[in-house]
Chains A and B, each alone.
Chain A
Amino acid sequence: MSCEYVQERISPLLDQRLAPGERETVLAHIESCRTCSAHYESMQSLRAALRGVTAPPIPADLRQKLRVVASHEHARRVSRLTLEARLDHWTGRMRLVFDNIMRPFGLPAASGLVSAVLLFALLAPSLSFARRGGADDPSGVATDAQLTAVNAAGDGPEIEDPDSFETNYEAVLELKITPDGKVWNWSVMQGSLTSELKNMILFSRFQPATYFGRPTWGRVTIYYRHSFTYIVRG
């Protein structure tokens, strides 16, 4: 039995992996051979040294990370156990995705709306709307000032269809009417202010413009043509 053969079997011998007969033979050779005996002893020392190597301590942060991994995987497993759990899981996911998409828009949109309402509420009282052209106001919340009589006798004006208006008027007046139905001011837009027109302004009666049923300021445009034709535009 050669030393090389024995030395190859020292490792399995130490691990008790040799058959009993072979084990006795190898041990006998080791007893009688100084080289193989030294080899055996150094292999024994090596094995003892390896077995004496202590386990390195697991880092605290790794311990923590593993707990996080376990927690995630547990939640994942539980969410897939039943159909109901799966549905809950997917509903939650969809809600989260929707939330994540909408959250960046939600705050700016809400604050923009609130700002617009507040701004309007602040500005609305200071806004005044002069009423003109009530005929094209379909809501009926505003009415124009109207000329109801053109002289002391109470004769009404002649109203023409606006589409058939002619342009050869002798004068065009614009009157500003108070909420009381009186003429507050006038301006001559075309022609000249004759005495006849002065009389007309003096004796005419007006129905004031209204806004939400309350009288308000209004304007009346009068197109004057000889033969006492008054064409009135509100």
Chain B
Amino acid sequence: MATSIFLDLSGDRPAENTADSEDFRLVEALRGGDEQAYEELLTRFQQPVYALALRLLDDPAGASDVVQEVFLKVFRSIARFRGQSTLKTWIYRITVNEAHNARRWFFRHRRREVDLDSKPDDTRDWKENIPDESRTPFDQAFGSEQRLMVEAALEKINPIFREAVVLRDISDLSYEEIAEILGVSLGTVKSRILRGREALREKLAGSLEPRPALRLVPQNGRVML
């Protein structure tokens, strides 16, 4: 049996996982109390951190709480950032840890809570409001449906595998970055991604066929799928 050798051959990601000069500049500005740096940090990271928290928790209110907690921790412990990882990896690691804590807390306390703020009109999930940039109504319908299915399947798989798949395929991080964020070995990352994808493939069996093309047949003017 051949041994798998892990190499980063993609070329589209930097091989090094340490902070670059841009990270250090931002961190120094934060330590120096530069107001613009606080704004810049939010601009750079609030969207990806929220997206990651939401994928890990699937609870918009919980994700919002996690994101606030993450940035509070980032601002307060920025003095302890040594640059041994990139700023992004460091912040993502905090996000994953906070999401773990929130999930544990959720299962202990909030499962039985009823959201009194929800109105009948608000019952639609945020996923149903995702802006879609597909070009045609057909594309839009097909894309939205497929995304909804993927999102639904993601919720159903083991959270441990889910976070690895989310970090790899949605947050687009390298195996090394994921290993650092999750605090596990590269082999474990590979295994979790593999098992997560397999679980998703099983959940989505039959719905991941190649996208049908919309063809116009000029002879009889019928639309064929």
Write the chain A residue with the least CB distance to B41.
A70
Give how many B residues have a beta carbon under 8 Å from the other chain's beta carbons: 62
Interface-side segment among A38-46, A88-96, A137-145 = A38-46
Interface code A10-41, partner B: CB below 8 Å = 1, 0 otherwise?
Answer: 01100111110110010000000000000001
Interface code A46-84, partner B: CB below 8 Å = 1, 0 otherwise?
Answer: 110111111111110111011101110110011001000
State which of B30, B72, B131, B194 has its C-beta within 8 Å of the C-beta of A12: B194
Whether the Cβ atoms of B169 and A50 lie closer than 8 Å is: yes
Q: How many angstroms between the C-alpha atoms of A21 and B142 in the bound complex?
A: 38
- Taking the closest CB of chain B, its distance from the CB of A37, in whole angstroms, is 13
Whether the Cβ atoms of A57 and B131 lie closer than 8 Å is: yes
Whether the Cβ atoms of A22 and B68 lie closer than 8 Å is: no
State which of A8, A42, A53 has its C-beta within 8 Å of the C-beta of B201: A42
Whether the Cβ atoms of A53 and B151 lie closer than 8 Å is: yes
B residues 152-171 near A (Cβ < 8 Å) are 165, 168-170
- Taking the closest CB of chain A, its distance from the CB of B191, in whole angstroms, is 9
- Taking the closest CB of chain A, its distance from the CB of B179, in whole angstroms, is 12
Whether the Cβ atoms of A15 and B175 lie closer than 8 Å is: yes
- Taking the closest CB of chain A, its distance from the CB of B193, in whole angstroms, is 6
Among A9, A19, A69, the most chain B Cβ lie within 10 Å of the Cβ of: A69
A129 at the interface (CB under 8 A from B): no
Interface-side segment among B85-93, B107-115, B202-210 = B202-210
Interface-side segment among B5-13, B18-26, B215-223 = B5-13
Whether the Cβ atoms of B194 and A55 lie closer than 8 Å is: no
Given contacts A17-B175, A53-B147, contact A11 B194 (CB under 8 A): yes
Given contacts A42-B201, A53-B170, contact A12 B42 (CB under 8 A): no
Contacts of A15 in B (CB 8 A): 10, 168, 175, 193
Contacts of A57 in B (CB 8 A): 126, 129-131
B residues 45-95 near A (Cβ < 8 Å) are 46-48, 50-51, 54, 60, 64, 67-68, 71-72, 75-76
- Taking the closest CB of chain A, its distance from the CB of B155, in whole angstroms, is 12
Whether the Cβ atoms of B210 and A41 lie closer than 8 Å is: yes
Given contacts A49-B150, A56-B126, A74-B33, contact A66 B46 (CB under 8 A): yes
Whether the Cβ atoms of A70 and B197 lie closer than 8 Å is: no
B122 at the interface (CB under 8 A from A): no
Interface code A98-137, partner B: CB below 8 Å = 1, 0 otherwise?
Answer: 0000000000000000000000000000000000000000
Among B126, B129, B198, B204, the most chain A Cβ lie within 10 Å of the Cβ of: B198
A5 at the interface (CB under 8 A from B): yes
- Taking the closest CB of chain B, its distance from the CB of A85, in whole angstroms, is 9
Whether the Cβ atoms of B4 and A73 lie closer than 8 Å is: no
- Taking the closest CB of chain A, its distance from the CB of B63, in whole angstroms, is 8
Given contacts A9-B4, A15-B175, A66-B42, contact A50 B75 (CB under 8 A): no
Contacts of B33 in A (CB 8 A): 74, 77-78, 81
B103 at the interface (CB under 8 A from A): no
Write the chain B residue with the least CB distance to A54.
B130
- Taking the closest CB of chain B, its distance from the CB of A113, in whole angstroms, is 45
Q: How many angstroms between the C-alpha atoms of A35 and B10 in the bound complex?
A: 27
Q: How many angstroms between the C-alpha atoms of A11 and B192 in the bound complex?
A: 11
Given contacts A11-B193, A81-B33, contact A22 B5 (CB under 8 A): yes
Contacts of A8 in B (CB 8 A): 194
Contacts of B32 in A (CB 8 A): 81
Contacts of A56 in B (CB 8 A): 50-51, 54, 126-127, 130
Contacts of B64 in A (CB 8 A): 59, 61-62, 65
- Taking the closest CB of chain B, its distance from the CB of A1, in whole angstroms, is 9
State which of A11, A18, A41, A58 has its C-beta within 8 Å of the C-beta of B46: A58
Contacts of B100 in A (CB 8 A): none
Per CB-CB distance, the 3 closest pairs between chain A and chain B, nearest first, are: A73-B75, A50-B169, A19-B5
Q: Please, could you name 12 A-B residue pairs with CB atoms under 8 Å apart, sorted by A?
A: A17-B7, A17-B175, A19-B7, A49-B208, A52-B147, A54-B133, A55-B48, A56-B54, A58-B47, A58-B50, A59-B64, A81-B32
Known: A55-B47, A62-B46, A69-B71. 13 other contacts (CB 8 A): A16-B9, A17-B8, A22-B4, A50-B165, A50-B170, A55-B51, A56-B50, A56-B51, A56-B54, A59-B64, A62-B50, A65-B68, A66-B68
